Amino acid sequence: MTTAAAVLSRLDPPLWIVTSGSIDEPAGLVATFVTQASLDRENPRFLVGLAKPHHTCQTIVKCNSLVLHLLEDSERELIFRFASRHGFDDVNRDKFHGLSIKPSQHGVPRLVDAMSALECHLVKTYETPDRFLFLVEADAAFDSGSTQQPLNWSRYAATAAPAVLQLLGTLLREDTIRDNKMIANAP
């Protein structure tokens, strides 16, 4: 019998960086998932899934806006930067150190050098035991004109240093244990 893991291994969605907050107090992380949630190309909506314990989730709820970023292969360092640092203190600010950022129309930091970016406002927030699901609508779009496909996990993992993959694997296992406890303790 096929396992769910085997089926999931067939998927290779792009890696998205989500930012929120302000230029002075930025927040950001690599999303669990981002998926298109409407057929409307003029006012597209997306569903963004993020783990509850992350500072960025609370920041999104507070400012009602976020920016979704797609990266090209040359920007791969940002995945490790935004996936490996957690927290509610100044460590979050370090994610943005040295990056070129501009405020979105909502004041949220946008990574200027990202391959593509969507500035979004929050439409509705849903909660599961372990995730916030943010339904957002795009208000503005930016694209570098790159002809590359957005960076996805398989291309990232194929060239990442073994130590980087080991650390990300450890963080993923820790997050999975935490998520499973949250699910098990849900009413």
- Mean per-residue pLDDT for 157-178? 83
More confident residue, 98 or 169: 98
Question: pLDDT at position 6, please?
Answer: 86
- Alpha carbon 145 to its chain's center: 21
176 — pLDDT class (breaks 50, 70, 90): confident
Domain boundaries, the chain: 13-184
72 — pLDDT class (breaks 50, 70, 90): very high
Question: pLDDT at position 36, please?
Answer: 95
Mind listing the pLDDT tens digit for each residue in 35-57?
A: 999 999 988 999 999 998 888 99
Q: What is the mean pLDDT of the chain?
A: 89
Mind listing the pLDDT tens digit for each residue in 91-111?
A: 455 789 899 999 999 999 999
More confident residue, 142 or 90: 142
Residues 6+ apart with CB under 8 A from 175: 51
Residue 66 CB coordination number (10 Å): 29
In angstroms, rounded to a whole number, what is the distance separating the alpha carbons of residues 138 and 136? Answer: 7
Alpha helices in 42-133 (DSSP H): 55-63, 77-84, 91-94
Going by C-alpha positions, the residue among 11, 7, 29 that lies closest to residue 134 is: 29
- Mean per-residue pLDDT for 119-134? 95
Mind listing the pLDDT tens digit for each residue in 130-140?
A: 899 999 999 99
Going by C-alpha positions, the residue among 149, 122, 141 that lies closest to residue 62 is: 122
Proportion of the chain above pLDDT 70, given as a percent: 95
Question: Of the given ranges (43-47, 85-89, 165-169), which has the lowest mean pLDDT?
Answer: 85-89
| Top-tier CATH class for 13-184 | mainly beta
Question: pLDDT at position 87, please?
Answer: 52
| Amino acid found at 95 | K
In angstroms, rounded to a whole number, what is the distance separating the alpha carbons of residues 185 and 39? Answer: 36
